[in-house]
Chain A
Amino acid sequence: MCGIVGLFLKDRSLEPKLGAMLTHMLITMTDRGPDSAGIAIYGEDRPAVSKLTVQSETPDQAFATLEDDLSTALGGPVTLRRKDTHAVLEIPRGQITPTRAALEMIDPTLRVMSSGDTVEIYKEVGLPKDVADRFDLRAMAGTHGIGHTRMATESAVTTLGAHPFNTGPDQCLVHNGSLSNHNSLRRKLRREGIHIETENDTEVGAAYLTWRMQNGATLGEALESSLNDLDGFFTFLVGTKDGFGVVRDPIACKPAVMAETDQYVAFGSEYRALVNLPGIDLARVWEPEPATVYFWSHADTSTPTEKAA
């Protein structure tokens, strides 16, 4: 089943409340996905800073000297902000690739949940309410974010099987549905040199988008070609530095509801997830069309770009 939520703010005065609003939406979707939950939140864009979110099974040990070790390896300032099993590493902008290489040397058991300039991804096994509490998601500010509650059907219930999946710098994906050609596609992508860690179907979907973009496609183009190359059911919500995008497979069995007001654009697997948003009674509420890619971007908040695939 799974539940997806997303919130894109147009009204900057709501930014301090993004975490609280999105967390409420996420918890409402608990009965669609009680086994794991995750959230990607896009915060302030500080010009000199990039960020990696890392996760560890043994955080006390792993994070104890990580700040100093990484700072030494990079030869520049690093700050580490720990939240439960996750830590956000703030590094000089543009240092993502050397940081990944350094982390591999320092502690190969660390898992990189996200990398980019503004995104932070938190995800764990457990009820959405508990996951939200562990990471204090309600207190987070930001411009936009997406979240996911998981009811696993295709692979094990693990931290790495939870969504969102990072697909590239400041990009991530959440998925409701199931992909049926993920095994053959995984083999193909691995031959192309794409790193895929788990047996999870959505990770393959995320890796597919990464691979297409590495080969010159825009995110919009990658999403459009996914309609031909991915077999199965999906409603995808993708986060980018500027906003988010939505695409549903042509059969569109997996639900999707959108609401838009002057203050925000919101996405939910069900209307229930949206009922506590301000002004929802007067919002324009609709279902995104099948096989159509939609984007909302802070670069142009006036109209969504919509492209029939």
Chain B
Amino acid sequence: MQTIDMDSTARRDLNATLQAQAEATNQTAWEIVNPKGSHAIAVGLDAPIEVTVKGSTGYYCAGMNKQATVHVAGSAGPGVAENMMSGTVVIDGDASQYAGATGNGGTLIIKGNASSRCGISMKGIDIIVHGNVGHMSAFMAQSGNLVVCGDAGDALGDSIYEARLFVRGSVKSLGADCIEKEMRPEHLSMLTELLARGGCDANAEEFKRYGSARKLYNFNIDNAY
């Protein structure tokens, strides 16, 4: 286990060190101490390493992640795991705005609540939230899965394309073109796997599925102002 102390290591050096890890590195376990809400911790990683951040992070932690597993033992600021390509990001606490935004792949697990715009423009990432998500979550979501074990705020899935949204609790309101859809057997098995991956103590049958009504795909003059 390598430990990097952010009280004595500059963030650019920290990120350069982690980014330099090769595919076949034997230094697979890293621990970052004293993050103190710093921005852009452990971004742009591209190796199968495990990074644990001991504390809460600021903006854009674990952005653009590939392959790596980043575990935040605290809460995460805005834009955590933004544009993730693959790998896993786990937040023990809460996540601020636009967690997992534009994510192309990988898994983002938030054990607390996520704030507004969780999964905005998601493009293939799987986001599993143990608690609630705020307003405008999955806005313009294109692909992937958003699982919410708690409640969802206003305008869930506004202008959604093809992502699947699973919510166990209440949905304050659905956004434009987002509708409730039937839970078919393939969705139940898919959700069961997602819940297991996210470490959620929940039963897939307690969830409802939401997705696109596909009414906004083509220009419709009646939708114009």
Interface residues of A (CB under 8 A from B): 252-253, 255, 257, 270-275, 281, 285-287, 290
Contact = CB atoms under 8 A, between A and B. Distances in A.
Contact of B37 (A252, A271, A281, A287): A271
Contacts of A286: 94
10 contacts: A255-B97, A257-B96, A270-B77, A271-B56, A273-B37, A274-B37, A281-B55, A286-B94, A287-B115, A290-B134
A299 B14 CA distance: 47
B78 A255 contact: yes
A74 B75 CA distance: 55
Determine the main DSSP class of B at the interface with A. Answer: loop
B36 A275 contact: yes
A257 B119 CA distance: 20
A252 B116 contact: yes
A258 to B, nearest CB: 12
Contact of B58 (A252, A253, A272, A287): A272
A259 to B, nearest CB: 10
B38 interface: yes
Report, nearest first, the 7 A-B pairs whose CB atoms are least far apart.
A272-B37, A271-B37, A275-B36, A271-B56, A287-B115, A272-B58, A275-B37
Given A255-B78, A285-B56, A270 B37 contact: yes
B135 interface: yes
Contacts of A272: 36-38, 58
Contact of B97 (A253, A271, A285): A253
A270 B94 contact: no
A271 B116 contact: no
Given A270-B37, A272-B37, A290-B135, A255 B96 contact: yes
A255 B55 CA distance: 19
A285 B78 CA distance: 14
Nearest to A256: B96
A261 to B, nearest CB: 15
A271 B75 contact: yes
Interface string B30-64: 00000011100000000000000001101100000
Interface in B191-208: none
A274 B56 CA distance: 11
